[in-house]
Amino acid sequence: MFGGVGAPGHQLVQPAEYKARYMDAKAPHTLVDVRTPEEFAAGYIPGAINISLQELQQKMNRIPKDKPVIVYCRSGNRSAFAANLLMQAGYTEVYDLGGIIDWVRQGLPVTR
């Protein structure tokens, strides 16, 4: 476990921690971008799948429960809400990466 505690039930993970622990180490996980398809098309974190917050409850079955789930959005508000929804649905290892704004600000990779 890493990062701080976010809203009740899920953990926060900082961009550099996520990159080192999951991207660089190629550790099994699912990275979910909960922004709109239009926002996703403008640029996303490599390896992410896009399930907008509005569609999360209907499409949650696309996210495996047997590995960590990391969620992010633009600024961190939608990802916190999404993380709570996933925890309520029985996902046990959910991390909130916050927003892509911080990711970009730190010079981390984005796919366009």
Residues labelled catalytic:
73
Task: Give the distance, in angstroms, between the CA of residue 81 and the centroid of all CA atoms in the same chain.
Answer: 11
**Sequence-ordered list of residues with C-beta below 8 angstroms from that of 43, at least 6 positions apart, any chain:** 100, 104, 110, 111, 112
Within 32-97, where are the H helices? 37-42, 56-59, 77-88
Contact of 31 with 15, CB cutoff 8 Å: no
Contact of 49 with 43, CB cutoff 8 Å: no
For residue 12, list its beta bridge partners: 96
